[in-house]
Chain A
């Protein structure tokens, strides 16, 4: 018990490791937190039901009644964007969680076991990495149709090879460290080596990688929805909202601008946050 307490007392926090976030990094973090809160609580705050036609006019501008205007059917944009956050952020988070978990597990296993297991797995996943991401999405959606579970799994599958390659490269580096050799010479199992010796030391870069892949996934999901292959009407994620209201573009309608702005603020802030992490964590292999 005392030893576990010893461990807990020295969690490698930013301050302890000798770095801090600068202004841009903090701003990024704040915007991320904002959208995370919206995704959870947004629909509770929305002034109208997202699917309800509330305005006789369509593409109406911003007003006191409809803060972000209305869409092509006269539905309230603010409510639809708040609801869209749940789809965009939720689907992307679920997908990125699957991607990174699978990538890290496979990557660490390949690094520790090595040999032909590593070779076959690496070759196979590298080959899958050769399929352009949006194309992969198109093909799968064309084949099995679009639903939220299909989207989550497809998006996850697209980025597993990349997450694997990244985690494996990190784990291979750590695996050559003397402390891993010492543990191996002590007689520790593969499981112990992977979870206790290697994992804590790749966690930082893996979290940064998670952020990068989250952005990719948001972009591909938005792209799919924009092509009409993502979240299906009457529901819509942010990419879908842009597609629905594309006709309003020539009018400069807020209905087409604000969903785009929502996507941009989310992805830019994640990028800003990651870019301002200390080099030793950010160090991406791309």
Chain B
């Protein structure tokens, strides 16, 4: 075996909390990276994957400190280097592609100056030569107008382009090791493909080693040779990509993979019989938007002519990319953003556009649950108070009765009763999302509008929430309007799916066999862009470039 390029031995990184407490966030991690090899660090939030990746450049975020172990790059000990020594290493031998290129580009400087800055800092080559090399890289990364894109400012190009430009910035110094820190997480799926492809081919050309940090196994499967699975600052399992995907040894790896298993929802048959004459919700020609209103329509029209119906006991998924208007749809139905045209009927009753004009009873029947439990739960209220408020507000329930009901609600979402004395800040992400959902249940609704409620959660936690939602639906006779950008989640819980693009519904599909039944070109593009747990997926994927140009927001 050849000498490894990177060798990490018993790496320990400590952090100091706000309260001055010292904790160890990386607990003795060891691994090697061979020259030309791409290794993925995979794990959920808090697993320490980004911390480890940054430590390879001798960098620790404020408040953190490399407290033990040894990191060697090409035989040189990074941990023993002075700050000047590390600075000399950065950009030339190890370089970095950030998670959000939009934030990592300096808004006050032109793109070219930032891309070639490494060559200037380390005096690698004359300016003209550096610019020529940058243009070459732009071309290799399939950027449009490679000759002139460098003269623009960062806010003048799209997110997907910036992400590729940040790869050019990392590759300009001809590094031995490139660190990719969740570089496609912030992108839409149709954009992600193009960026991943560009990364893959640029890395194959350059021959550098790579560290690819991600939480998404399917993305990593496309680009990594080897995968290291992390949890709580420790390595759980390490192996080749094929072995991790097909023969996982560690139970945690198996749980990660299990979350990817398709769990199709046993669809409730569409009732055609007269026992249920009215759909739980029926939306007709709904229009909504933001900004000053002129001629009866707002300036920014987000939602245009949306119609659908949802039968009682069934679930409807709404999928689309950022800017498709899917979240606006939930807000318009709830009356938070009053629609300016069209009607919303809940159980046959027409709702006033503005929620302020709706009755308490009307408001109670349809509850909305938001994506981020962190911002959806008031940090100053105890869990008991958060769940108690809708009880008092809608049902006039107080005192002992309310307390009993709070315990019942917590039990429904499988949380212990004594959690009601806690503040939201003291709960885990999954627990908070359960409380968030329990608050909607407290109103005893018939329809729940779920806005990306599993998107911010780690895969294993999200899968558990979906199971819970299904179970509660059986018990409580609920209907869900389920908004998500994640097709597999929608598949797991919905009967029907609406595909949205630029504020319009492009197609309505049954949730089962979406890919087979999709007829509209955009639905097909969107569905085919979802990464699959298959190492050959990206290579074999063929998309019509005309279609991509027409629909993808690059």
A touches B in complex, CB < 8 A: yes
Query: Is A251 part of the binding interface, using a Cβ–Cβ cutoff of 8 Å?
Result: no
Tell whether, in the assembled complex, residue A187 and residue B360 are in contact, meaning their CB atoms are under 8 Å apart. Answer: yes
Instruction: Report chain A residues within 8 Å CB of B239.
Output: none
Tell whether, in the assembled complex, residue B368 and residue A200 are in contact, meaning their CB atoms are under 8 Å apart. Answer: no
Tally A residues with Cβ within 8 Å of B: 30
Tell whether, in the assembled complex, residue A3 and residue B399 are in contact, meaning their CB atoms are under 8 Å apart. Answer: yes
Tell whether, in the assembled complex, residue B399 and residue A182 are in contact, meaning their CB atoms are under 8 Å apart. Answer: no
Tell me the nearest residue of chain A to B363, going by C-beta: A187
Cα(A35)–Cα(B380), bound, Å: 32
Query: Is B275 part of the binding interface, using a Cβ–Cβ cutoff of 8 Å?
Result: no
Cα(A119)–Cα(B17), bound, Å: 41
Query: Is A285 part of the binding interface, using a Cβ–Cβ cutoff of 8 Å?
Result: no
Q: Could you jot down 9 A-B contacts, CB within 8 Å?
A: A1-B399, A2-B402, A6-B384, A7-B385, A18-B19, A178-B375, A179-B378, A181-B336, A183-B389
Instruction: Kindly state the interface size class of chain B when it binds its partner.
Output: 35 or more
Query: Is B475 part of the binding interface, using a Cβ–Cβ cutoff of 8 Å?
Result: no
Which residues in A have some Cβ–Cβ distance to B below 8 Å? Answer: 1-3, 6-7, 9-10, 12, 16-20, 177-179, 181-188, 196-197, 200-201, 203, 278
Which residues in B have some Cβ–Cβ distance to A below 8 Å? Answer: 17-20, 334-336, 355, 358, 360, 363, 367-368, 370-372, 375-382, 384-385, 388-390, 393-394, 398-400, 402-403, 420-423, 425, 439, 443
Other CB < 8 Å A-B pairs besides A188-B393, A278-B18, 15 of them?
A3-B384, A3-B388, A3-B398, A3-B403, A6-B403, A7-B381, A7-B384, A7-B385, A19-B19, A181-B336, A185-B334, A185-B367, A186-B394, A187-B355, A200-B378
Cα(A200)–Cα(B423), bound, Å: 13
Cα(A278)–Cα(B17), bound, Å: 12
Tell whether, in the assembled complex, residue B335 and residue A10 are in contact, meaning their CB atoms are under 8 Å apart. Answer: no
Cα(A182)–Cα(B382), bound, Å: 16
Cβ contact of A12, chosen from B380, B393, B394, B439, cutoff 8 A: B380
Tell whether, in the assembled complex, residue B376 and residue A3 are in contact, meaning their CB atoms are under 8 Å apart. Answer: no
Instruction: Report chain A residues within 8 Å CB of B393.
Output: 186-188
Tell me the nearest residue of chain B to A200, going by C-beta: B380
Tell me the nearest residue of chain A to B443, going by C-beta: A186
Tell me the nearest residue of chain A to B385, going by C-beta: A7
Which 5 A-B pairs rank lowest in CB-CB distance, beginning with the nearest? A200-B380, A6-B384, A178-B376, A178-B370, A10-B382
What's the nearest-Cβ distance from chain A to residue B494, in Å?
Answer: 23
Tell whether, in the assembled complex, residue A18 and residue B375 are in contact, meaning their CB atoms are under 8 Å apart. Answer: no
Tell whether, in the assembled complex, residue B19 and residue A197 are in contact, meaning their CB atoms are under 8 Å apart. Answer: no
Cα(A186)–Cα(B439), bound, Å: 11
Tell me the nearest residue of chain B to A188, going by C-beta: B393
Instruction: Report chain A residues within 8 Å CB of B425.
Output: 17
Cβ contact of A181, chosen from B363, B367, B370, cutoff 8 A: B370
Cα(A183)–Cα(B439), bound, Å: 11
Cα(A124)–Cα(B420), bound, Å: 44
Instruction: Report chain B residues within 8 Å CB of A1.
Output: 399
Instruction: Report chain A residues within 8 Å CB of B439.
Output: 182
Instruction: Report chain A residues within 8 Å CB of B402.
Output: 2-3
Cα(A154)–Cα(B380), bound, Å: 35
Instruction: Report chain B residues within 8 Å CB of A178.
Output: 370-372, 375-376
Instruction: Report chain B residues within 8 Å CB of A3.
Output: 384-385, 388, 398-399, 402-403
Cα(A2)–Cα(B391), bound, Å: 14
Tell whether, in the assembled complex, residue A179 and residue B398 are in contact, meaning their CB atoms are under 8 Å apart. Answer: no
What's the nearest-Cβ distance from chain B to residue A131, in Å?
Answer: 33
What's the nearest-Cβ distance from chain A to residue B360, in Å?
Answer: 5
Tell whether, in the assembled complex, residue A20 and residue B20 are in contact, meaning their CB atoms are under 8 Å apart. Answer: yes
Instruction: Report chain B residues within 8 Å CB of A188.
Output: 393
Cα(A16)–Cα(B372), bound, Å: 22
Cα(A201)–Cα(B378), bound, Å: 8
Cα(A110)–Cα(B402), bound, Å: 34
Instruction: Report chain B residues within 8 Å CB of A10.
Output: 382, 421-423
Assuming A9-B421, A16-B423, is B390 touching A186 (CB within 8 A)?
A: yes
